[in-house]
Each structure stands twice: as C-alpha cells, then as structure tokens.
Structure 1
C-alpha cells in the first residue's frame, strides 16, 4: 500500500503518530510530491500544531502552486482561528485551482455566513449539498442560510432532510419549530421544540421558545 494511503488510514483511526511516520516516509521517498506535505500538515493541524501545519501546506504550494487541497487546508486553519476574510480567499483559491469538493463549497459558504454575507453563501452551500446529499451538517447550514434570507419553505425542507440523515440533530428540530411558529402552526412548533429538548434537555433556545409560545396561547 502507498505510504500516503497508509497514513490516511492511520488518520481515520486517530493514530496520529503512525500517520505522521507514514507521511514522513512518503516525503522521503518522493520529496517533490505535494500530497504528502498536505497530509503531514493535516496531522499536525489535528494535534493542534497549526503553525507547523501551515509550513507544510506552504511547502506543498511551493512545490506545486496548483495544489488545490493545500489552499483548502490553509483555509480550514484560518477559519478555526476566526480569520474569516483570509479563509475566504483560500477557499476561493482552492476552487479556482480546480477543487470541486463538497467540503470546500461548504467551508466557503460557512465563511461567507460568518462574514454576514448570507446571500453570497447560499449558492456555495447549495452546491455542497448537491455534491454530497447525505451530509446532515451541510443540509442544516444550507437550511439556516435559507431561513436567514426568509426563504422559509425551502429552509424547512433542508431541516427535514437533515433530521432524516441525523435523527439526533436537536438544532434542526429547534429551527423547524421556529419555522412552524413563524407560520403560526403552534402545535407543530411545540412538537418540534419538544423533540429538540428530548434529544438535548439543556437546549436553552428550544426551552425558551417553548415557554414563550405556550405562555402566549
């Protein structure tokens, strides 16, 4: 098995030390292959060494300026440090370099939402869902973005899909409840808030919304 594949397998198992060893060997065998540097960077990022991870991503880009996955990985790093404008540039660059992955579209959409540019985020979140229909979180964030733009019916469809894929998604139930309340369907709204609270008893928003709606009716 290729050392990169082996490393990825170790990563999936959460075995960071063995993963690092495999990627290190991959780099020694093929020092001009950007993939191994990106993978090594991902291991470093996973164990919280962002600074070192960044160096490996930059090395991958030095070797191949079209290494789209390196831009994506740098974007994730920046996003997790709340550097949203810089992250946006990286995800956009990854896209321009040909990265057609649902993850990249999802992260670009999420970054635009964080920058309060929901209208621009929408097509990217939509594309993310199209490319990976079974990702509950992508469905949820797409639904949230639709709701913020007051496209309530469309957003409800996404929340329902999210719950189909992940029946324990309390936030999707909560947001469905809000949508039903908006449509003045009180019984349905309370049912959704109850579902959210059954999954997550300390769901403050759902608890508050339920009390509010019940005290008004």
Structure 2
C-alpha cells in the first residue's frame, strides 16, 4: 500500500466511523517491519509516528497498520506484513485525520486525537465542537447511544426548549379563550336587551343596548331595536332620529322599516314617508314591510281605499305577517267598516297571540260600539302583554270612567302619567274625570299644564271654558 485510502474507506464524518471507533476497546499492537523481534506500537496518535505518504495540501500523517501477531509459546518467526481489511484500515487511516487547514501544529493534532480517543468514556458535559458537520443537528443509527447520553446529560437545554415550544401554544389558547369569552359576553348582552324589548321593558332594553361597544352599537340591527323601544314608549321624535341613523348606515335595510313608517305617520311627516315607501318598494317588492310603508303613506293622505289595497298586498306577500292585519284593521275602522276590522284584528291575534296592537284594536271597536265591559277586557289583555304602555292605561281609565268607576279611573290615569308625564292624552282625560267629579280647581290646574304642552289644541281651551262657567 502506498498510503492511498481504499474506495470503501469511510470518512471520519461517516456513521460507521464513529461506530467502529466507539466500539473499539483496546489498542492495536503492530509489529515493526524492519526487525524480526516483535515490537509493539503504543497508541496510534503517538507523536513519534512517521508519515509514509503525504497528499498535497494536507500534512496529516497516515501510518500503515499491520496485523498484530499472536503470542505463542513456540519460536517466533518473522512473517510478512499483512494489509488490514478495508474496515480496519479505514479505522486506522481515519483516526488521525484532522484538518491541516485549521490546525497545522503537530502537537495540536495529537491533542485533538487524544480527545477523540477519550470520548469512548463520555464526559459529564460533552464537547459538541468535536461533532462533524454532516451529523450536526440530527441523530442517526450509528451514534444513537451517544445521542441518548447527551440527551440525559443536557436536560436543562431540553427543558428550555420545551418551554419555548409550549409557550406559544399556551399564549394562543389564552387568546382564543379571551376571544370566545368576549364574543359570548357580547351575545349575552344583546340577548338580554332583545329579551327586555320582547317583554316590553323598553327602558331597560334601551339601557342595555346603549352600553354595547360603539362598533356594535352603530349597526342597523341594534339601532332598529332601540328605535322600536322608543316607539313603544311613544317617544316618536327620539325614535325618528334613531331610524334616520339606520337609514344612513344601512340604506338597503328593509327589516323594521314598517315601524319607521308608522312612526312617521304619527309625526305627520308625509314627505319622508313618501320617500321611504318609494325606496322600499323599489328595493324589494316581495317584502311585506315595503307594502306596509306604502299603505301608511296613502293613509296619511286620507286615501284609505288605496291604503287598504296596499295592506292587503302585504298580507298576500306574507300571510303570517300580523302587523299587516293590524294596519288593515285600523283602516277599516277609519271608514267605519267595523265587522271587517274585527276580522282583521282576530286574524292578527291568530297569527301572533302576543301582538298587543290587535287586542288594543278590538278594545277600540268595542268602545265605539259602547260595549265597555268587553272593551275593558280587551284593553286589559293588551296591558298584560305590555304593562309599560301609558296609552293602554289611558284607554282603560277612560273605559272605567264610562263604567262609572271614577276613583278607579283616576288611579289608572295617575299610573299612566307616572309612566309618561308628558303624555297629553292622559292629562286631558284626567282633567275630564276631575271636571265630571266636580273637582274644578284640580281640573283647571291640570288644563293649565296641558296648555303649555299642546298650545294649539282646541279641546283644551273648550274644556277650560266649561270649567270657568
């Protein structure tokens, strides 16, 4: 051999090299090639070893390794040197290969070689710099035992790695939990507000929905619920402001616009009602809200026959739309067709038993027919559904006064005024009851306050004149 490595010789970075190196437990004794007497060679990395062949650009020493002779009791004979097998030769040739480009000193190479030999007894803290670049960062089958020992010894680093891996997962879980709790809190608040509105606790509903975050408060659905609450409280100016904001934010919205049209009817704003009905019918001709708005528009113009046709069209579009039956019943009341009005209100109750407007309509018809007991019964049924309505309490007080229950009527009217102190209808009827009971001073005081609220109401001045007589 001229010192050239065989083709199958593993490099120092190969896994078989490390396996053969770590499994070797003894030092190979090599006889000298020059003398017949047996001469043992100490460690391979001994500094006195001479180089047989040097490659250009590499000053590493390559020592030919011979097969050790077996000691026996017989006479010693000199045998020709035998070349090792490729595996053993690879071990011999690979052991002292230290890059001369990095370390040119022979003493430094010897020191590094001795460190490699001592690695078969793993130290407490392994020197990771001696690992080859090809195996850095991964564990292969040949060096699995060394990796297991390193894993046991380097527990502190592993624990830190676990913390760095688990920490983002905990943080993500915390963020998801906080987001879910925030969403559930938002839905809970919105549900509470909607439940209060359906129970006609309108002030509570307004209070709950008004405390929602601004980006949720300024949405069409929330503002529609608040506007409906103001409408039920008969605060039409405030309701008109809220619904105008809804139209500005979501001009495509159809749901809830029937309440907006009725509120405009109460405020006698014919131009705004005409624009609303035109926009809704152009937007969706298959929605009952659009036809209800159109019917309210013609009802405000006193064209009741055309309004009746539009309300009937709303019922054709959606036969289960209770509010269309109610509006149609009111139109029949205006033209004095009370039997048809009764049928419409009863159909509304059939579709929605909690539709208190239909119960109120039935009570009004019975009051016109002077069936005061039936009227009181239906008004009371409507009040059971909506106990916060000052209008219903006022109607009940009027019926009670017609039934000669004056003291009870005054108590009912006082409750209505406590709910809505600025309701002119309640004040007028209370003044009328006081005048009928010959309490002129109290009646005159009530009428003077009412004159400040509705200065252009003729009935107020007429009743003041009757009290003055």
TM-score, normalized by the shorter chain, greater than 0.5? yes
Check 1:131–1:179 CA distance in 2 against 1; reply closer, same or farther (3 A cut): farther
Within 1, Cα distance between the matches of 2:379 and 2:282? 37
Match of 1:85 in 2: 339
Check 1:95–1:135 CA distance in 2 against 1; reply closer, same or farther (3 A cut): same
- Which runs of 5 or more residues in structure 1 are unaligned? 182-188, 212-217
Within 2, Cα distance between the matches of 1:103 and 1:158? 20
Match of 1:208 in 2: 466
- Residues 7 and 18 in structure 1, CA contact (< 8 A), matched pair in contact too: no
Q: Secondary structure at the match of 1:4?
A: coil
User: Hey, which of these two has a bigger chunk of helix by percent?
Assistant: 1
Q: Per-residue displacement from partner, 1:71-96 (whole Å, max 9, x unpaired)?
A: 11111111122333332222122112
Question: Which of 384, 396, 412 does residue 130 from structure 1 map onto?
Answer: 384
- Residues 7 and 22 in structure 1, CA contact (< 8 A), matched pair in contact too: no
Question: Which of 351, 355, 360 does residue 101 from structure 1 map onto?
Answer: 355
- Residues 85 and 115 in structure 1, CA contact (< 8 A), matched pair in contact too: no
Match of 1:166 in 2: 421
Match of 2:280 in 1: 23
Question: Which of 90, 104, 112 does residue 366 from structure 2 map onto?
Answer: 112
Aligned-residue offset at 1:9: 7.8
**Higher RCO (Cα < 8 Å, 6 or more apart):** 1
Say if 2:434 is the partner of 1:177.
Answer: yes
Aligned-residue offset at 1:210: 6.0
Check 1:108–1:9 CA distance in 2 against 1; reply closer, same or farther (3 A cut): closer
Match of 1:68 in 2: 322
Within 1, Cα distance between the matches of 2:381 and 2:317? 30
Q: Secondary structure at the match of 2:345?
A: helix
- Residues 68 and 99 in structure 1, CA contact (< 8 A), matched pair in contact too: no
Cα RMSD of the aligned pairs, angstroms, is 2.8
Aligned-residue offset at 1:106: 1.8
Check 1:115–1:190 CA distance in 2 against 1; reply closer, same or farther (3 A cut): same
- Which runs of 5 or more residues in structure 2 are unaligned? 1-249, 452-457
Check 1:63–1:8 CA distance in 2 against 1; reply closer, same or farther (3 A cut): closer
Q: Per-residue displacement from partner, 1:70-129 (whole Å, max 9, x unpaired)?
A: 211111111122333332222122112215233222222111100111111112111233
Check 1:143–1:9 CA distance in 2 against 1; reply closer, same or farther (3 A cut): closer
Match of 2:445 in 1: 195
Within 2, Cα distance between the matches of 1:66 and 1:91? 13
Would you say how many aligned residue pairs link Structure 1 and Structure 2?
A: 201
Q: Secondary structure at the match of 1:41?
A: helix
Q: Secondary structure at the match of 2:370?
A: coil
What is the TM-score when the length of structure 2 is the normalising length?
0.38
- Residues 139 and 162 in structure 1, CA contact (< 8 A), matched pair in contact too: yes
Aligned-residue offset at 1:143: 0.4
- Residues 173 and 192 in structure 1, CA contact (< 8 A), matched pair in contact too: no
What is the TM-score when the length of structure 1 is the normalising length?
0.76
- Residues 295 and 310 in structure 2, CA contact (< 8 A), matched pair in contact too: yes
Check 1:83–1:9 CA distance in 2 against 1; reply closer, same or farther (3 A cut): closer
Query: Between Structure 1 and Structure 2, whose CA radius of gyration is higher?
Result: 2
Aligned-residue offset at 1:8: 4.8
Q: Per-residue displacement from partner, 1:150-209 (whole Å, max 9, x unpaired)?
A: 23332121111233323444423323414644xxxxxxx123211233134954345435
Within 1, Cα distance between the matches of 2:302 and 2:257? 18
Within 2, Cα distance between the matches of 1:72 and 1:39? 13
Aligned-residue offset at 1:133: 3.5
Match of 1:184 in 2: none
